[in-house]
């Protein structure tokens, strides 16, 4: 059902937690009846330097959340904001079709966190 | 088999199977009874020659064995392909046979999908279906049935025991009310057989569904009890097998297996009830003490002996199940993670659980081969798994409603 990368990230998720001094926080998912992610980013000079997550959800959404923290660290805010819905699914070695929404939720979390960062820091995109 | 993508799942680890409401293994007495019918005793029960006579005798013996399990006469038992077909036959078969008398059906909001979706099909065909709402323990009050009956009601279908939470309905009282009104009463006793007394007379049942693979028989075989004189229209028309109720050459191997399983289930029911209750009660007590913030779903007393459904708010069901599976513990969740985006169990929602809590629920269902050692093993792993997932979801930090 799941790739070994998914199982690895599910079983030993990276970067679980919160960043009390986060520069951007992204909440995504369905808090009433589904998976949710809270993604905290630390951003210095326009580059993500740290990321932590909390996720309520199935194995795929926990793995996607863990993977998205690894993916986002070291990227610029612009790169992060342009994440595609299936970026994380690909990084995980694929997800079952019925679990693609978990990859999309992780991407939504990144976009929301960058948006939060920009609104807090007044760094509206110049283009 | 060996291409398991995650090597840990392929490890020959101790495995603790606690998913007997999903299915049970074929017990060895049953397997031994079935074996000759694969090869040497292969006859078609409808054939006139001795091969056919041999198969016929075996099918009729199995019919008597199943009849014995539910206090019916052998002539009132018909073999099917399983619980799903029995439920379909009971509901659609009655609807079709009685539609001239009315087009109203009464059922509940916690039925198995075989009943629920048969009723949904009939709604699309113009029947009216009343879904009685269970209380917070999953029970229907017989008075609700009485109030819902109309002159146009042709069928009441209420399950004896629920597969997810184990709640047992007051079927005897309901059956009395329904039959006094001349309405047909069906009950799905798939989960009850072998664990609780299933007596078509005490229940006042006109139709009753059974399945082989929940009672240590094979998969793909089941039975329906149809009270003498109750008419139903077949769903499979053909060569007039099974007294024209269910056509198709008899699945002799499966039927023989189901017969043996039924006989043993009847014989061992009382000791099985005690054994299953003891293990379930021990697990329930330890979970309540050793894990914070849990909620047990189902009726505290009127419940199947081996079934324990627990919500662990802050942890999600599929994650719990996969973590337990990695620890060699097989359980299940009512939430349908198979059908796309997670959908909370309709049964838990019917109890009034909020969707998040419903999503964090696990069903443990014990069987005859389990021991108290299995309870100890589960409790050596479960608390750690729940707290790990709660940590990941930050339930502890109050970010997720508990
Ligand atoms: C209550 C109930 N009814 C019906 C069924 C369906 O039985 P089968 O799997 O034999 O089709 C099941 C099993 O899942 C069940 O638990």
Q: How many residues does chain A have?
A: 127
Domain boundary among B210, B236, B265: B265
Average pLDDT, chain B: 93
Q: Any CB–CB contact under 8 A between A19 and chain B?
A: no
Q: How far apart are CA A7 and CA A59, in angstroms?
A: 8
What is the pLDDT averaged over residues B392-397? Answer: 67
Q: How far apart are CA A48 and CA A58, in angstroms?
A: 26
Residues B302 and B362 in one domain: yes
The predicted-structure confidence for B151-190, as pLDDT tens digits, reads as follows 999 999 999 999 999 999 999 999 999 999 999 999 999 9
CB-count exposure of residue A18 (10 Å: 0-12, 13-18, 19+): middle
Q: Is B119 a catalytic residue?
A: no
Residue B240 has, within 13 A of its CA and on its CB side, a CA count of 1
Tell which of B322, B348, B396, B397 to mutate to test the A interface (max A CBs under 10 Å).
Answer: B322
Give pLDDT, residue A125.
54
The predicted-structure confidence for B331-362, as pLDDT tens digits, reads as follows 998 654 443 456 789 999 999 999 888 999 99
Q: Whose CA is nearest to atom 9 of ligand 1?
A: B83
E-assigned strand segments in A1-127: 24-29, 36-44, 47-56
Domain boundary among B265, B292, B325: B265
Helix, strand and coil in chain A, % to nearest 5: 45, 20, 35
Residues B102 and B229 in one domain: yes
Could you tell me if B55 and B41 are in contact, meaning their C-beta atoms sit under 8 angstroms apart? yes
Can you tell me which residue has the tokens 């009655």? B94
Take residue A43 and report the two structure tokens written for it: 């951003």
Residues B274 and B149 in one domain: no
Sheet with B295-297, side-by-side order of all strands: B295-297, B307-311, B361-365
| Closest B-chain CA to A53 | B392
Could you tell me if B385 and B323 are in contact, meaning their C-beta atoms sit under 8 angstroms apart? yes
| Greatest Cα pair distance in chain A | 44
Residues B160 and B277 in one domain: no
Give pLDDT, residue A54.
97
Which residues in B lie closer than 8 A to residue A35 (C-beta atoms)?
316, 342
What is the pLDDT averaged over residues B15-28? Answer: 96
**B376 CB-near residues (< 8 Å, 6+ apart):** none
Does position A42 have pLDDT exceeding 70, yes or no?
Answer: yes
List of domains in chain A: 4-120 (3.90.1010.10)
Does position B17 have pLDDT exceeding 70, yes or no?
Answer: yes
Give pLDDT, residue B399.
45
Q: How far is the CA of B148 from the centre of ligand 1 (A)?
A: 26
What is the pLDDT averaged over residues B34-45? Answer: 97
Residues B58 and B155 in one domain: yes
Number of compact structural domains in chain B: 2
Q: How many H helices and E strands in chain B?
A: 12, 12
Give pLDDT, residue B343.
77
Q: Any CB–CB contact under 8 A between B311 and chain A?
A: no
CB contact under 8 A, A57 and B344: no
Does position B402 have pLDDT exceeding 50, yes or no?
Answer: no
The predicted-structure confidence for A76-112, as pLDDT tens digits, reads as follows 999 999 999 999 999 999 999 989 999 999 999 999 9
Higher pLDDT, B9 or A67: A67
Model ipTM?
Answer: 0.91
Q: How far is the CA of B111 from the centre of ligand 1 (A)?
A: 10
Residues B113 and B157 in one domain: yes
Take residue B165 and report the two structure tokens written for it: 């939470």
Strand partners, A48: A43
Domain that holds residue B322: 13-25+269-396
Q: Does an H or E element contain B308, and which?
A: strand B307-311
pTM of the model: 0.92
Does position B135 have pLDDT exceeding 80, yes or no?
Answer: yes
Q: How far apart are CA A32 and CA A68, in angstroms?
A: 23
Does position B150 have pLDDT exceeding 90, yes or no?
Answer: yes
CB contact under 8 A, A18 and B6: no
Give pLDDT, residue B302.
98
Give pLDDT, residue B7.
46
Domain harbouring B174, CATH code: 3.40.640.10
Angle between helices B113-124 and B83-98 (to 10 degrees): 30
Q: Which residues of A75-99 are buried (b: 16+ CB within 10 A; e: fewer)?
A: bebebbbebeeebbbebbebbeeeb
Give pLDDT, residue B397.
43
Q: How far apart are CA B130 and CA B397, in angstroms?
A: 43
CB contact under 8 A, B319 and A18: no
Which residues in A lie closer than 8 A to residue B344 (C-beta atoms)?
33
Cα distance from A85 to chain B (closest Cα, Å)? 15
| Closest B-chain CA to A18 | B394
Does position B401 have pLDDT exceeding 60, yes or no?
Answer: no
């Amino acid at each position: 059902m799941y790739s070994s990368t998914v199982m690895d990230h599910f079983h030993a998720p990276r970067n679980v937690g919160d960043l009390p001094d986060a520069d951007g926080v992204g909440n995504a998912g369905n808090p009433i009846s589904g998976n949710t992610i809270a993604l905290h980013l630390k951003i210095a000079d326009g580059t993500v330097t740290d990321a932590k997550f909390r996720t309520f959800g199935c194995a795929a959404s926990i793995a996607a959340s863990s993977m998205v923290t690894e993916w986002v660290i070291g990227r610029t805010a612009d790169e992060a904001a342009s994440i595609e819905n299936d970026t994380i699914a690909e990084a995980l070695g694929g997800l079952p079709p019925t679990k693609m929404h978990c990859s999309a939720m992780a991407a939504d979390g990144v976009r929301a966190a960058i948006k939060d960062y920009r609104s807090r820091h007044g760094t509206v995109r110049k283009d | 088999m060996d291409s398991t993508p995650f090597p840990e799942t392929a490890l020959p680890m101790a495995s603790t199977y606690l998913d007997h409401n999903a299915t049970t293994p074929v017990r060895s007495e049953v397997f031994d009874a079935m074996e000759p019918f694969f090869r040497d005793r292969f006859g078609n029960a409808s054939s006139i020659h001795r091969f056919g006579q041999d198969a016929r005798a075996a099918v009729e013996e199995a019919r008597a064995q199943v009849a014995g399990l539910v206090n019916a006469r052998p002539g009132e038992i018909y073999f099917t392909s399983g619980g799903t077909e029995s439920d379909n036959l009971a509901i659609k078969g009655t609807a079709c046979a009685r539609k001239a008398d009315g087009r109203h059906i009464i059922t509940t909001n916690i039925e198995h999908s075989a009943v629920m979706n048969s009723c949904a099909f009939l709604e699309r065909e113009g029947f009216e279906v009343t879904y009685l709402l269970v209380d917070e323990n999953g029970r229907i009050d017989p008075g609700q049935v009485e109030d819902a009956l109309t002159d146009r009601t042709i069928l009441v279908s209420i399950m004896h025991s629920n597969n997810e939470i184990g709640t047992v309905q007051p079927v005897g009282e309901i059956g009395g009310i329904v039959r006094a009104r001349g309405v047909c009463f069906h009950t799905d006793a798939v989960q009850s057989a072998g664990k609780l007394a299933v007596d078509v007379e005490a229940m006042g049942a006109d139709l009753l569904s059974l399945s082989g693979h929940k009672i240590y028989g094979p998969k793909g075989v089941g039975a329906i009890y149809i009270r003498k004189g109750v008419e139903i229209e077949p769903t499979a028309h053909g060569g007039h097998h099974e007294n024209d109720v269910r056509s198709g050459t008899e699945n002799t191997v499966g039927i023989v297996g189901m017969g043996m399983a039924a006989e043993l289930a009847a014989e061992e029911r009382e000791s099985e009830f005690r054994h299953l209750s003891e293990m379930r009660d021990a697990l329930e007590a330890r979970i309540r003490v050793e894990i914070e913030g849990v909620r047990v779903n189902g009726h505290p007393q009127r419940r199947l002996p081996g079934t324990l459904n627990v919500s662990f708010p802050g942890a999600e069901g599929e994650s719990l199940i996969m973590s337990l599976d990695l620890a060699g513990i097989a359980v299940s969740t009512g939430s349908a993670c198979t059908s796309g985006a997670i959908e909370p169990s309709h049964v838990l929602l019917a109890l009034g659980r909020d969707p998040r809590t419903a999503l964090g629920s696990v069903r443990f269902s014990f069987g005859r081969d389990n021991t108290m050692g299995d309870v100890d093993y589960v409790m050596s792993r479960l608390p750690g798994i729940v707290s790990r997932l709660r940590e990941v979801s930050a339930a502890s930090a109050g970010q997720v409603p508990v």
